[in-house]
Chains A and B, each alone.
Chain A
C-alpha cells in the first residue's frame, strides 16, 4: 500500500507541469480524483489494510488527496490570471492629459503674495507706463540729483516713462486711500540695462507698504522676519545693512541666511552665507507729505524685492534670459 501511494504521488508530480489549460486540468481531476480515479481507488482499498495501520495509511491518503487538489487549485488560479491578461493589458499607458504649468516667476510671486495676504496685506496694482511724478518726484527723487542715475529709465516722452520700480503704486495707493494702509504691489518693471546672463531689461518686483499710527522699524523687521521664515524656511535669519533709497529713511538692505547651506557658505550665496534679497526702510516724510499724509501723525514702512533673482536662486537657474525664452521644455520643469 505504501508503495502504491508513493507511485501515485510521483504520477501527480510528473503530470503537474501539463496543467496549462482548462481541459488538461479537468483530465487531471478525473484521472486522480474522479470517482474511478487512482486516488479514489486507493481509498477503496483502505478497508483491506490491517486495522492497526489504518490510521497512518488514512492520513497518507488524505495528504495525497490534498496534494492533488492543491495542484488543481493552483493551476486553475494561474489559468484565470492568464485569461485576464489576454483580455486587457493593464500595463498599457493611460491616455495622456497634459496640464500646462504656471511660469516659474508666477509661481514664486504667488507664493510671496499668499504669505503677505496671510499677514494682512491686500494686493494693489498700477500702470506700467508712468508719469515722472509717480515714478520719481513724489518718491523724493529730486531733479538733477544723482539718485536719478540709480535706475536707468526708458522714456516715452518728457514726462512718461516705463516704471523703473513698483514704488509708484505706493503713491497711487496713498492717493486713493487713507491710513491705515497695508498693501503689497506686485508687478513688472523696466530698466534700460544691457541684456546678459545676469540682467534683463525688465523684471518683476513685489513692493510692500504699511502706513499707520506708531509704526516703527521694529514692526518692519518683524514682518520681514516673518516673511523670510515662511518663504525660505523656519530657521532663516535676517541681517540688515544701512543703505539708501530716496523714498525711505532710514533705509536698509536685507540679507537672509542662505537656505541651501544655512549660512555655512556655498556657491549660491557666493560663500558668504547670506543672500541679498530686498531693500526696505521707513517711508520718508517727504513721500508722506507728497500724498497729503501728515508725517507727524502717521509713520510707515516700505519694502521691495526682485522676484526674478529670487526665482533664479530657488530653482538654480543661472541665466536670466531663460525666463524670457519661454522654451516649452524649460517651462514644463516648474
Chain B
C-alpha cells in the first residue's frame, strides 16, 4: 500500500524526514519497501494565455502560438499538440525550467520558427502516467504569470510503499498509519474536519429516501447510507486528482474519486450508487443463490452460492464489499447519489472474492477487518467532500441499520506475563502511553494487572499475547537484551537420520560421486516411465512440473542430459530425496492415499577411470555401480544378508533387485534403450536407488571382535569350463559350502569365452582363500579340499577343470 508523506502529516505532527519516518515505521512492523519522490517542484513552469495560434509554415503538425506570460509581451512558442487553441489558459515551461529528472527547457528554433518554451501536457509535468492526449488546458480564471506549483498547491512530496502484514488491516489507510506514528512520537491523531457548511445540508433525512433491510446479520450486520442530491459527476479538484494518481489509481469523476479518497484516508471502503437507478426504495443486504451478475467493470461474473449481495429490493446491485454492479453505477448524468458505508464479515467477503477470483481495494480491506465503528463518520466525510466540491446538498442525517452489535473485547493484561514472554519489564507509564496512543481504553488496573477495551479498528487484537505484541512493537526489540551465556538443557537426541545421511554423503563424495538436488515435481510422461501409480499436483505451475517424482531416476536422467548438452559426459551423481507414489494398501506409514519414502540414488555414466599418461580409460559398467552399492549397503550393518536377484524391468535393460529378508531395499540397473532415447542420452547410464526408510528401520548388528587368524592363509586358483548359462554367483556359493570353515573367501578372477568353442561354454576362474584358525594346512589337506571342490563342480555344474 502507498502512503503520501504530506497526507500523513495532516493526521499527526512529526518532524521526521521521509527516510527517518520510513525507518521508524519499519521498526514498528510497517515495513517501508521504498520511497518515491513525486510532484516535482515545477520551477519555471508558469501560467500562460494563448493569445493567437497559427499553423507552422514549414510543418503540418506544428502550431506557432503567441503566449502571454503575464508581463504583457506575448512570446512565440512552437507547439505540437493538436488541441492547442487561442484563448486557452495553459502551463508553460519557460527557458531554464527542468521537467522530470533532467529535461531542461531551452530557447530553440524549430523548423525556422523561434520557440521560447514549451506548452506542457499533464504527462510532461509528471502528473499523469503514460502519454496525455494533448496539452493541459487549465481553468481560465487563473492569472497569467503565476507559478503553476503555487496555483495548484503542488509541492514536492514522497510516496512511501508500505508492506502491510496480513494481521494489520487497521494500517491500510493514512489514519491507520498515523496512529502508529502518533504512538511512536508520543502525539495524538488529528481527525479530518467533519463540519459541513449548512448551505450544503438539505432538510431531507436519508431515511426518507431509502430503507435498509439486513437479511443476513452475520455476514452484513452494519450498513450506513447517505443520500445526496443536486451533485454533478464532474472531475475532482486538481489536489484530489493528484493524490489519487500518486496512490496509483486513475481519477474518474468526483463521485467515484471521493469514495476512493476516503477509503485511502480512513480505511473505510465506500460505494456510490446512482440513486435514480435504484428502483425499489429499499436496500436489502442478503445472501443469494448462484447466478450471473455484471460488475461495474462490464464483466459478467458467475456468483457463487451464498454470496452476500446488496440488492435493490430483490435485484442485486453490488457484490457486498467487493465490487458494485454496472446496473447502478454512477454515470456522467448522475445528480442523486446514495453513498454506502458498511461493515461486512471478513471471511464472508474473502470466500466470495476467492470464488469470483477477484481482489479489489475494497475486498482487500474487508478481508483484513475494517474499523466497525467508522461507517457513519466515513459516509459523512465523503458526503462533505462531494457537496463542497460539486455543489448540491446532502441529507441532514444518514440512514444507519445495525442488525448485530459488534462488541469490543475487554482484555486483561497481567504485568507478570510481559516479563514472562519478553524477558524484560516495560515501565508502567510506558505501557499506558503505548496502549493509549494506539486507541486502547483503560477500564481498570491494580498492582498485578490491568484491563483494557480493544478499539474497533483493531479486530486482530483478541488476547493478552496480542497486547504484549503491541507493547514490544512500539517499545522496540532493541530493549530486549541478549543473555551473557547460552544454557543448554539436556534433551535426548530424538531418532534422526541426519548423521547417517551425512555419512552416506561423505562416503559417496569420496567415491567420486557428485551430490545433486533435483526438482521433486517432474513431467507426468517422465514419471510414467517408472510407474503408473503417480501423484499428480492439482494446481501445477506447468506440465513440466505436473506430478511428484515416484523415483529419483527421471530427475537424474534429465540432469545427465543437461550436462551432456554442455559437453560433460563423464558423470557420477547421487541424490538423497523424497519420492512419492499413490498406494492402495496401508503397508507403509502412509499419508492419505500416498506413500512418501526417502531414497538415495546413484548414477554413473561415461568414463569412470580417466586415461592417464600411463593407463587406458575405463568406461562405467553395471559392475562398477554394483560394487559401489554393495559397499554402501555394507555400511548399514544389516542383520540379514542382502540378496541380489536379476529381474525384468521396462525402465532398465539389466536390472538387479536388492532385498534383505523379504524387504526390498533397492535396485541397480542399466537404463533401457527406450529410456535412453526418451531422455536423448548418447551413452548407457547406470542407476541405483536405495530406499533409506527401509534400510534405517531394518534390524542392525553391532560388530563383535573376532580373533585374528594365527596362521597364514593359502590362496589357490582353479578354472573350469562350464556351460555359459551357469551363473557365477551360484558357483561361488557352492564352492564356499563344500568345505565349511576352511575356505574363507571365494572370488572370480577371470571369465573367458572362447569364440571358437562350439560347446557354448565359458571358462570361469576362481580364487579361493584357505584358512584354518587352528593350524597350517598340509599339502595333503590342500589337495583334499581342491579335490572336493573339483568333484562338486563336475557333479553339480557339469564343469570340467580347465587344463586338467
Interface residues of A (CB under 8 A from B): 92-93, 95-103, 105-106, 110, 113, 119-120, 122-125, 127-131, 143-147, 149-150, 154-157, 159-160, 162, 173, 177, 180-183, 186, 188, 190, 192, 194-195, 201-202, 212, 214, 216-219, 221-223, 225-226, 239-244, 249-253, 282, 284-285, 299, 323-329, 331-332
Contacts and interface: CB of A to CB of B under 8 A. Distances in A.
Given A146-B368, A326-B516, 20 more contacts: A102-B515, A103-B517, A110-B502, A120-B491, A127-B596, A128-B578, A144-B347, A156-B592, A160-B594, A201-B545, A202-B521, A217-B421, A217-B424, A218-B482, A219-B423, A226-B486, A241-B29, A242-B469, A250-B473, A326-B517
B498 A241 contact: no
24 contacts: A102-B509, A103-B517, A105-B517, A119-B486, A120-B490, A123-B493, A124-B496, A125-B498, A127-B596, A128-B520, A128-B578, A128-B596, A129-B580, A129-B591, A157-B538, A173-B494, A182-B491, A186-B498, A188-B578, A192-B539, A218-B480, A243-B165, A328-B514, A332-B514
Contacts of B508: 100
A288 to B, nearest CB: 11
A106 B517 CA distance: 9
Nearest to B368: A146
A244 B421 contact: no
Given A93-B613, A242-B477, A244-B167, A218 B423 contact: yes
B43 interface: no
A122 B515 CA distance: 24
Contacts of B402: none
A244 B461 CA distance: 13
Contacts of A217: 421-424, 472, 477, 480
Contact of A180 (B482, B483, B486, B491): B491
A324 B538 CA distance: 23
A194 B571 CA distance: 30
A188 to B, nearest CB: 7
Contact of B165 (A129, A181, A244, A324): A244
A222 B521 contact: no
Interface of B: 26-29, 31, 165-168, 346-347, 350-351, 367-368, 419-424, 463, 465-466, 468-469, 472-473, 477-478, 480-483, 486, 488-494, 496-498, 502, 505, 508-521, 535-541, 545, 548, 559, 562-563, 566, 568, 571-574, 577-578, 580, 591-592, 594, 596, 610, 612-615
A299 B421 contact: yes
Given A177-B494, A214-B420, A95 B517 contact: no
A150 B518 contact: no
A244 B594 CA distance: 33
Given A100-B509, A188-B578, A146 B367 contact: yes
A100 B514 contact: yes
A283 to B, nearest CB: 10
A222 B469 contact: no
B481 A218 contact: yes
Contact of A145 (B166, B168, B562, B574): B166
Contacts of A143: 347
A155 B538 contact: yes
A242 to B, nearest CB: 3
Given A241-B29, A324-B519, A222 B486 contact: yes
Nearest to A185: B496
A102 to B, nearest CB: 5
A327 B578 CA distance: 21
Contact of B514 (A101, A155, A325): A101
Given A105-B517, A119-B486, A154 B537 contact: yes
Interface centre among A113, A214, A218 (most CB of B within 10 A): A218
B489 A180 contact: yes
B512 A221 contact: no
B513 A100 contact: yes
B469 A250 contact: yes
A328 B28 CA distance: 46
Contacts of A253: 31
Nearest to B568: A328
A148 B492 CA distance: 35
